[in-house]
């Protein structure tokens, strides 16, 4: 088996020579280029920047040749030797499933798996693939091919495990793919943007011109019949699914799919080959006819405290029953009927809150649908109460004018927030409202509240119990309009942005300290004095401090308490690097964001650009003079033409 990775926008072809000395035809390195994990998933990070080819089963080979088309910067090749092993291929079967060769049976290397499996809430559709590679393999070689795909996906691509959920060979053998349970909703890495909510099944081989043998198609139909029945999905149905993002369908785009779709339906690929793709409709029809009767699309609408409607569809008219049981297993409601459509409403307006289990059944020969509604009863708790920031200066200058009060509720409750004054007396009720479980927050602006130390008392009640939490806050308007200019400066003695000017206003007398901090540690003390009310200013030269990001920390202390204000700024003594890529085309590269001053044919042009390549437009270039100035005032060297 061989697989290729490369960098750059170009493409790669390869061919291999058999041990008998015969060269194969030229093949694309990535015939199924979107057999990938989802964008942004952890599995994509290991191969970031590389284009991934598909694992191609060549059979015994001793030489490889490459053709590069377009811009290919680097190329690396993975050769996988996966020998045929004489191991007993013991098959396992679950209720209604075809015989499945387990990972243990085909010799999966569990030691190389990189992470535990991830699970989707449900499976809604199946995507059929072919793996690429020769169709000239024996039944005893199939397990070796699957092992080779596992090794390439994990050790070549850096994925967590083999990408497919199941694999089927041309002899009708079904192999368990990605670890996590054949009956679980394991998220694979087989269809970029469509892995979550799907089950990926790959046919071993290439089926562009030749369809899989009948025995293979029957095995695929039996597998899909069982796996979609587990999910209560009709193989003949269609659905609309929102893309997670790939080259064909951007993230958030709704895509109409069949419950049994080909990989080409979700991306720019020919997978699973024209011949196999043409058979998918017939395979879905056969899957729908296997293992009857079936229950499709169970759904529950409503919530406890109101009307709850149970719906489903049966493959034929049957006597059905909907059962609802409480946490002890006692049945609290039952609905029955005889039809092909299940539709029953439970009056849950008077039930006790809690977690209830429901079942839709229609005889012993049909797989029932099950689920839960409601939630487990939990003790009321109010935790993680905090104020951010704890000190506020509500003076309208846009700096710490309010505090965000946050807390977490464990259960639904009526929450009351009360403001308590410095003397412990109750001043006002801020609000009293019903809140749901989870993180909650509100804004405290202290309008009309004098300077001083206060407490916000949070009280939550569900009618049975009451819990409280106290959040201290300090209101202190001593400091206004704390500012620093410029936001970036360069203390290099060139006369431009060599100093940083801090300014602030005191509304009352205070002891003031101004420090410079980085990552929470003080690196320089700038100023310390007892000051009277009024406008103040302090300059700092940055002496002895290296380039980097810093914070100016102003602390003012009086009888009320201490209030702290911070401002971020940057020290930058390094001039921007400006390079010319083409004077005639006016294309340049700059190392950082900067103001560009271009004198073109005697005319001055200015523009602010980001780091990277930028250009100007001009019909004719006679003379050029250009330089860059960054936010700290550093100047690049001046480039001239001619």
For the stretch 59-76, pLDDT in tens is: 888 999 999 998 888 999
Determine the pLDDT at residue 92: 63
Q: Is 255 exposed, middle or buried (0-12, 13-18, 19+ CB in 10 A)?
A: middle
Determine the pLDDT at residue 89: 56
Determine the pLDDT at residue 443: 93
**Structure-model confidence comparison of residues 605 and 19, the more confident one:** 605
8 Å CB contact between 617 and 586: yes
Residue 38 has pLDDT above 90, yes or no: no
Q: Tell which of 238, 267, 289 closes a domain.
A: 289
The predicted model gives 84-90 an average pLDDT of: 63
Co-location of 417 and 542 in the same domain: no
Give the closest residue to 406 by CA, choosing from 347, 332, 473. Answer: 473
Whether residue 192 lies inside any domain: the answer is: yes
Token reading at 123: 């499976």
Co-location of 244 and 315 in the same domain: no
For the stretch 373-413, pLDDT in tens is: 987 778 899 999 999 988 888 888 888 889 999 999 998 89
Give the integer Cα–Cα distance in Å for 472 and 227.
56
Residue % of the chain over a pLDDT of 90: 71
- Count of alpha carbons within 13 angstroms of residue 426, beta-carbon side: 8
Determine the pLDDT at residue 540: 94
Pairing type for strands 11-18 and 61-69 reads antiparallel
Residue 85 has pLDDT above 80, yes or no: no
The predicted model gives 348-366 an average pLDDT of: 92
Co-location of 268 and 344 in the same domain: no
Place of tokens 């990926």: 200
Whether residue 80 lies inside any domain: the answer is: no
- Report the mean per-residue pLDDT for the chain: 91
For the stretch 46-62, pLDDT in tens is: 677 788 888 998 888 89
**Structure-model confidence comparison of residues 397 and 304, the more confident one:** 304
Residue 198 has pLDDT above 70, yes or no: yes
Whether residue 143 lies inside any domain: the answer is: yes
Determine the pLDDT at residue 339: 97
For the stretch 504-544, pLDDT in tens is: 999 999 999 999 999 889 999 999 999 999 999 999 999 88
**Structure-model confidence comparison of residues 125 and 38, the more confident one:** 125
Give the integer Cα–Cα distance in Å for 282 and 259.
13
Residue 88 has pLDDT above 70, yes or no: no
Determine the pLDDT at residue 448: 83
Q: Quick count: other Cβ atoms within 10 Å of Cβ 439?
A: 9
Determine the pLDDT at residue 142: 93
Place of tokens 């320089």: 524
**Structure-model confidence comparison of residues 608 and 82, the more confident one:** 608
The predicted model gives 136-162 an average pLDDT of: 91
Whether residue 73 lies inside any domain: the answer is: no
For the stretch 330-349, pLDDT in tens is: 999 999 999 999 999 999 99
For the stretch 180-197, pLDDT in tens is: 999 999 999 999 999 999
Residue 90 has pLDDT above 70, yes or no: no
pLDDT-wise least confident of 373-382, 469-478, 520-529, 564-573? 373-382
- Can you give the residue range of the structural domain that contains 357? 295-374
Whether residue 42 lies inside any domain: the answer is: no
Number of domains observed in the structure of the chain? 5
Determine the pLDDT at residue 86: 65
Q: Specify the CATH number for the domain of residue 451.
A: 2.60.40.4070
Co-location of 235 and 333 in the same domain: no
The predicted model gives 443-453 an average pLDDT of: 88
Residue 141 has pLDDT above 80, yes or no: yes
Token reading at 377: 């009863």
Q: Specify the CATH number for the domain of residue 590.
A: 2.60.40.3110
Give the integer Cα–Cα distance in Å for 609 and 630.
10
For the stretch 538-561, pLDDT in tens is: 999 998 899 999 999 999 998 878
Co-location of 364 and 413 in the same domain: no
Classify 46 in phi/psi space as left (phi over 0), alpha (psi -120 to 50) or beta: alpha
Whether residue 539 lies inside any domain: the answer is: yes
Residue 199 has pLDDT above 60, yes or no: yes
* pTM greater than the 0.85 cutoff: no
Determine the pLDDT at residue 313: 97
Determine the pLDDT at residue 43: 82
Co-location of 212 and 354 in the same domain: no
Whether residue 149 lies inside any domain: the answer is: yes
Co-location of 281 and 141 in the same domain: yes
Co-location of 222 and 207 in the same domain: yes
The predicted model gives 421-444 an average pLDDT of: 92
The predicted model gives 225-244 an average pLDDT of: 96
Residue 230 has pLDDT above 80, yes or no: yes
Co-location of 197 and 282 in the same domain: yes
Give the integer Cα–Cα distance in Å for 177 and 158.
17
Give the closest residue to 215 by CA, choosing from 201, 227, 203, 233. Answer: 203
8 Å CB contact between 359 and 334: no
97 pLDDT band, cuts 50/70/90, is confident
């Amino acid at each position: 088996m061989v697989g290729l990775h490369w960098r750059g926008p170009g493409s790669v072809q390869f061919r291999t020579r058999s041990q008998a000395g015969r060269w194969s035809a030229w093949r694309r390195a990535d015939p199924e280029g979107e057999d990938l994990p989802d964008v942004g998933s952890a599995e994509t990070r290991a191969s970031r920047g590389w284009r991934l080819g598909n694992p191609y089963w060549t059979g015994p080979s001793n030489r490889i040749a490459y053709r590069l088309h377009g811009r290919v910067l680097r190329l690396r090749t993975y050769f996988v030797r996966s020998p045929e092993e004489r191991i007993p291929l013991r098959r396992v079967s679950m209720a209604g499933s075809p015989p499945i060769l387990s990972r243990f049976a085909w010799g999966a290397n569990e030691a190389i798996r990189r992470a535990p499996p991830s699970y989707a809430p449900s499976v809604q559709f199946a995507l059929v693939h072919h793996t690429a590679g020769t169709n000239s393999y024996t039944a005893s070689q199939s397990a070796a091919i699957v092992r080779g795909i596992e090794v390439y996906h994990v050790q070549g691509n850096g994925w967590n495990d083999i990408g497919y959920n199941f694999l089927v060979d041309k002899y009708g053998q079904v192999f368990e793919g990605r670890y996590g349970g054949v009956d679980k909703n394991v998220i694979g890495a087989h269809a970029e943007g469509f892995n979550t909510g799907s089950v990926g099944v790959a046919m071993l081989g290439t089926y562009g011109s030749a369809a899989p043998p009948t025995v293979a198609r029957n095995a695929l139909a039996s597998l899909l019949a069982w796996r979609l029945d587990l999910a209560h999905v009709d193989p003949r149905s269609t659905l609309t699914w929102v893309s997670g993002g790939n080259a064909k369908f951007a993230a958030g785009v709704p895509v109409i799919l069949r419950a049994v779709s080909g990989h080409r339906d979700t991306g720019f690929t020919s997978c699973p080959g024209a011949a196999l793709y043409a058979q998918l409709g017939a395979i879905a029809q056969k899957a729908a006819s296997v293992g009857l009767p079936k229950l499709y699309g169970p759904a529950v609408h409503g919530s406890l405290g109101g009307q709850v409607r149970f719906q489903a569809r049966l493959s034929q008219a049957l006597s059905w029953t909907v059962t609802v049981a409480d946490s002890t297993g006692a049945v609290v409601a039952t609905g029955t009927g005889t039809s092909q459509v299940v539709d029953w409403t439970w009056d849950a307006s008077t039930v006790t809150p809690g977690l209830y289990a429901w079942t839709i059944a229609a005889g012993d020969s049909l797989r029932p649908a099950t689920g839960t509604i409601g939630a487990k009863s939990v003790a009321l708790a109010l935790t993680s109460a905090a104020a951010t920031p704890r000190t506020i200066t509500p003076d309208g200058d846009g700096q710490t004018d309010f505090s965000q009060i946050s807390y977490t509720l464990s259960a639904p409750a009526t929450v009351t927030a009360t403001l308590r004054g410095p003397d412990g007396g109750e001043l006002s009720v801020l609000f009293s409202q019903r809140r749901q479980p989870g993180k909650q927050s509100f804004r405290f602006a202290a309008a009309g509240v004098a300077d001083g130390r206060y407490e916000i008392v949070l009280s939550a009640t569900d009618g049975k119990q009451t819990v409280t939490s106290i959040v201290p806050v300090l209101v202190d308007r001593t400091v206004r309009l704390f500012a620093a200019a410029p936001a970036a400066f360069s203390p290099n003695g060139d006369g431009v942005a060599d100093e940083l000017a801090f300014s602030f206003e005191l509304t009352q007398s205070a002891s003031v300290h101004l420090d410079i901090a980085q990552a929470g540690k003080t690196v320089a003390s700038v100023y310390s004095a007892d000051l009277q009310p009024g406008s103040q200013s302090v300059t700092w030269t940055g002496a002895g401090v290296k380039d980097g990001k810093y914070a100016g920390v102003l602390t003012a202390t009086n009888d009320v308490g201490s209030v702290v204000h911070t401002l971020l700024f940057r020290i930058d003594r390094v001039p921007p690097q400006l390079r010319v890529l083409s004077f005639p085309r006016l294309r340049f590269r700059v190392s950082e964001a900067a103001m560009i001053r271009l004198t073109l044919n005697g005319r001055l042009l200015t523009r602010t650009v980001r780091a990277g390549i930028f250009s100007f437009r001009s019909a004719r270039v006679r003379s050029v003079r250009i330089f860059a100035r960054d936010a700290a005032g550093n100047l690049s060297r001046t480039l001239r033409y001619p």
